[in-house]
């Protein structure tokens, strides 16, 4: 069968509605994904620059502005006795006592930090460091 040369295979116009619908769905999914909360503990660490670190084994804990303790990515539900037990277990299986790195919100009081270091000492951890953000000196750091 011979087809005439002037016939067009696609005679319908290009339909942009399905493409627009897919584009709007992508935009909605991206917006929902951005607005979902991210897991983790919201801490505002104070900025500091050129502080020494440690070459010893470390264990990490966190305390938020509400005074809640977190150890090994878990919230300590029974307060200071639970933190003491967790720190004792972390220090028990090591040849050298580890260094405790405290991730404390900048609104945590000095008394709470002293209490945490005393608990660590009772658990057998003799060194404690405060975690900070790398950056400028606290006096010149921008306010958040």
Tokens of 57: 């084994």
Lowest-pLDDT range of 19-23, 51-55, 95-99, 106-110: 51-55
Question: Domain holding 120: CATH number?
Answer: 3.30.420.270
pTM reported for the whole predicted model: 0.64
Among 67, 98, 99, residue whose Cα is nearest residue 83: 67
Residue 41 falls within a domain, yes or no? no
Residue 105 falls within a domain, yes or no? yes
Residue 116 falls within a domain, yes or no? yes
Among 112, 85, 108, 88, residue whose Cα is nearest residue 98: 88
Residue 104 falls within a domain, yes or no? yes
- Structurally, the chain folds into a number of domains equal to 1
Beta pairing, strands 58-63 & 99-104: parallel
Residue 9 falls within a domain, yes or no? no
**In which domain, by residue range, is 128 found?**
56-134
Residue 38 falls within a domain, yes or no? no
Query: Which residues lie below 8 Å from residue 86, measured CB to CB, with a gap of 6+?
Result: 61, 71, 72, 76
Give per-residue pLDDT as tens, 17-46. Answer: 889 999 999 999 999 988 888 777 777 777
Residue 33 falls within a domain, yes or no? no
């Amino acid at each position: 069968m011979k087809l005439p040369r002037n016939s067009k295979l696609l005679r319908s116009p290009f339909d942009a509605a399905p493409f627009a619908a897919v584009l709007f769905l992508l935009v909605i999914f991206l917006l929902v994904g951005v607005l979902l909360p991210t897991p983790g503990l919201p801490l505002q660490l104070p900025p500091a620059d050129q502080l020494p670190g440690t070459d010893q084994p470390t264990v990490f804990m966190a305390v938020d502005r509400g005074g809640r303790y977190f150890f090994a990515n878990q919230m300590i539900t029974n307060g200071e006795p639970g933190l003491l037990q967790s720190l004792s277990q972390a220090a028990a299986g090591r040849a050298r006592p580890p260094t405790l790195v405290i991730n404390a919100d900048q609104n945590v009081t000095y008394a709470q930090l002293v209490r945490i270091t005393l608990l660590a000492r009772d658990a057998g951890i003799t060194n404690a460091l405060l975690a900070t953000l790398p950056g400028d000196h606290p006096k010149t750091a921008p306010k958040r």
